[in-house]
Amino acid sequence: MPRSEHVPEPVLIQLHGQSPNASGGQLPAPPTDLRLLRIDEYLQARSLSPKTQSAYRQDFQHFLRWTNLAWTDVTPRQVTQFKQHLMRTEEGRRVLSDASVKRVLGTLKAFYGWLWRSGYIDRNPTLEVQLPKLSEPEAGNLTDEQVSRILAAAAETRLRERNLALIAVLQHGIRAEAATLLNIEDFDGARLHVHQDKADSKGVVPLDQDGQQKIAAYLAWRQERGEVILPQAPLFISYSHRNAGVRIGYDTIEKLVTRLRKATGIQFHAHQFRHTYATNLVLDGMNPYHVMTLTRHKSVQTFRRYTKAADQKAAEAAFYETQQRRKDKLPQTEQ
């Protein structure tokens, strides 16, 4: 039937955000994974830093890629199967370490606990799933000889003053990420005030005389270069052509450590300065509780790695002392 001359030809209007397919129709927008909305709410409720939120999201991705089930549809059996998936091997090697599996499962268990407390679910399918047991970690402390070689190599680098001051900060147990966030005003001449660190572990770190001198020398060097030293300015800045004057990032520390590894032949990482700091303080007889205060550890379990060496040393000393007392008590003919 011919179209009535009173009916106009239809006009196709393309909506924003949609694109026509080959036949001229509209492709549906990709569906939104509603599970992500609940994750967003969970992370917002915990008031976590952006970096910590990113780490949690990476953990969640393991589960989201493994199944498309809604949170309310997951059963205890499926959580067990997910654990087996995480612990799988490929080509004879584990895909994830026990520590990584424990972290991912721990994130999932904490999330389901929040879902249950918030009234989104009436049962928690993760309750009966046990986390992998990890062997007690060892402290990766450096020897005095290794530290001396690293400092000697740092003294030969182009940015000698900055690099020596940076290592001095790391030598006082401050994490690399926290060191990059320090401002000039955080150094009062005798101590460093840590305002931003992992798990919100803020605190004050007293500096030994060598550390004080190296940081003061670095700031004096900056003034000699004509820099304006403002309290709110970053303590450690870049001197590269691209980022001159900008706060350094973790990659700057990693590049320095890589250069020092090559120069010394010592295979170490920045975090080992923290291990060395805590271990040496405990070995020197400082109260472990006070050491925990300076390192801003919140868990005795994670701090345990630093007391093991001191405990072993004390146990050996007690053993030899006991042997000597026993020897002193024996009759002369039995010695």
Torsion of CA 227, 231, 236, 242, to 10 degrees: -50
Total count of residues recorded for the chain? 335
Provide the pLDDT confidence category of residue 213 given band limits of 50, 70 and 90: very high
Per DSSP, the three-state class of 93 is: strand
Residue 69 CA to residue 82 CA, distance in Å, equals: 12
Residue 246 CA to residue 238 CA, distance in Å, equals: 5
pLDDT on residue 139 = 59
Provide the pLDDT confidence category of residue 195 given band limits of 50, 70 and 90: confident
Residue 194 CA to residue 179 CA, distance in Å, equals: 8
pLDDT on residue 312 = 76
pLDDT on residue 11 = 46
300 vs 115, residue with greater confidence? 115
143-176 pLDDT, tens digit per residue, is 999 999 999 999 999 999 999 999 999 999 998 9
Tokens of 163: 């690099």
Share of the chain above pLDDT 90, in %: 55
pLDDT on residue 29 = 47
pLDDT on residue 133 = 81
122-149 pLDDT, tens digit per residue, is 999 999 999 888 665 555 788 999 999 9
Residue 179 CA to residue 251 CA, distance in Å, equals: 12
pLDDT on residue 324 = 81
pLDDT on residue 328 = 78
Residue whose token pair is 């001229």: 24
Averaged pLDDT of the chain: 85
pLDDT on residue 15 = 45
Q: Residue 20 pLDDT > 80, yes or no? A: no
245-295 pLDDT, tens digit per residue, is 899 999 999 999 999 999 999 999 998 998 899 888 888 888 888 888 888
C-beta of residue 31 within 8 angstroms of C-beta of residue 37 = no
Write down the pTM of the prediction: 0.62
40-56 pLDDT, tens digit per residue, is 999 999 877 787 888 89
pLDDT on residue 13 = 44
